[in-house]
Chains A and B, each alone.
Chain A
């Protein structure tokens, strides 16, 4: 199993550009989520999905869109990049939606917006 994979590893965007961060998992997990990691702030939840066709907002959803058309894939779209979106982005998946399940993380995408 590859686990949770993310592409690209690094990305530089100019303000106003759009892009999609890719996330895929091969563990047949129901739950997937996107976090951003900023210095001194830990991880903050952007969006999550409890199954194909179902998504919901987390703590910091503004400026980001998601969709979940398959169990495996959960892309994160930046509609119009801003410098405040410079961060490291992590995708995670979990085998269930109960609160005892741990999350499995991808290696991250480091995004810089100039």
Chain B
């Protein structure tokens, strides 16, 4: 079965640079969530989109923005990167109100 696709899988950036993470949800899933997971921590919700509209917002820094496109893929844009942004970034998708969220393999972002 098709799963959530994330790219790139690994990304190394320097402080103050920008990064763009991409997420391709499972086919026919219309909701995308972004989570950030630090080492040894639980995933923390950043932002979500339903039918291309922002649906919920969590602890996402103002330096980050995201959107969902007409084909339902989503991009997380991160600017003025800080060392503390180093983490695993997961995208999850679900189908409408069914609620089951399926996670992608993640993007490991390292800021040096």
The answer to whether A binds B is no
Residues of B within 8 A of A (CB): none
A interface, CB within 8 angstroms of B: none
